[in-house]
Amino acid sequence: MEKIRVAVIEDEALFREMLVGSLSRQVGLEVVGTADNAEKAIALARNAKPDVILMDIELAGEMDGIEAALAIKRESPEIGIVILSSHDNPRYVTSLPLGESTGWAYLLKQTVRDLSAVVLAIEGCARGMVVMDPSIVARLRPREGSEVSRLTPRQKEVLRLLAEGYNNSAIARQLELEERSVEGYINIIYQHLGLSGETEINMRVKAALAFLKSSQREGKHGSTGGVTPG
């Protein structure tokens, strides 16, 4: 099995070195380059052609990480982008063109300490998935009356894990289910959301987007805010 080729774009040298060191020790990953600003990131993507780029959202210079990511996607839509951010507001997630191009992930920088979550996001992006930070997903609740709100509690659990980038076997392990049971739940979710006649990846992406767009954020005191583009 070929390794996933990863580039790291981060302007804080110590954090960049920590990421490179941690990722280089992963069996299925290969770090093929680093950069500390948007312009170098675009050139690196063009020359090294990594499978996935970890992109800091706040870069010094004229372009930030989102602008660099969009520029890279326009040139090479097959490259997956993992956005690294300090902002846990879902509006930053919905500012990404998730419905137009696949292979996106949004991770909080504090989540990077959990290397398994970073690897999951990288692997998901490499497959063309849309992957959300688990702490953001955990605070989202389906809006009353939405299609997602009509799912059963178990179906919602499966959909949340799907939105975090888990494949069927990993969802089965998380929920202590048989993998065929997970496949059954996912097929019912697809039917409920009106998803059919497309590739499995496209349906998983659209299911994850449906969860994100039909949910609202649960506030610290029980209040919620709609997940809409900022």
User: What are the chain's domains?
Assistant: 4-133 (3.40.50.2300), 139-226 (1.10.10.10)
**Residue 230 pLDDT class (50, 70, 90 cuts):** very low
Whole-number pLDDT of residue 32:
97
pLDDT at 148: 93
pLDDT of 226 strictly over 80: no
Share of the chain above pLDDT 90, in %: 65
- Residues 80-120 pLDDT 10s: 999 998 887 666 776 777 767 789 999 999 888 889 999 99
Residue 168: the pLDDT is: 95
Q: What is the mean pLDDT of residues 200-207?
A: 90
Residue 222: what pLDDT?
40
Q: What is the DSSP letter of 222?
A: S
d(CA 31, CA 43) in angstroms, rounded, equals 16
Mean pLDDT along residues 153-181:
95
- Asked if 176 and 157 touch (Cβ cutoff 8 Å), the reply is no
Pairing of strands 52-56, 80-85: parallel
Residue 225, pLDDT > 50, answer no
Query: Across all residues in the chain, what is the average pLDDT?
Result: 88
Tell me which of 199 and 33 has the higher pLDDT: 33
Residue 183's H or E segment, with its range, is: helix 179-192
The top-scoring range by mean pLDDT among 51-60, 85-94, 138-147 is 51-60
Give CB contacts under 8 A, 24+ apart, made by 198-204.
Answer: 201/102, 201/127, 201/128, 201/129, 202/102, 204/129, 204/162
**Taking residues 121-131, what's their average pLDDT?**
93
Residue type, 222: G
pLDDT of residue 229: 30
Give the model confidence (pLDDT) of 7-49 as tens digits.
999 999 999 999 999 999 999 999 999 999 999 999 999 999 9
| pLDDT value of residue 218 | 65
pLDDT at 78: 94
Residue 184 has pLDDT above 80, yes or no: yes
pLDDT for res 118: 94
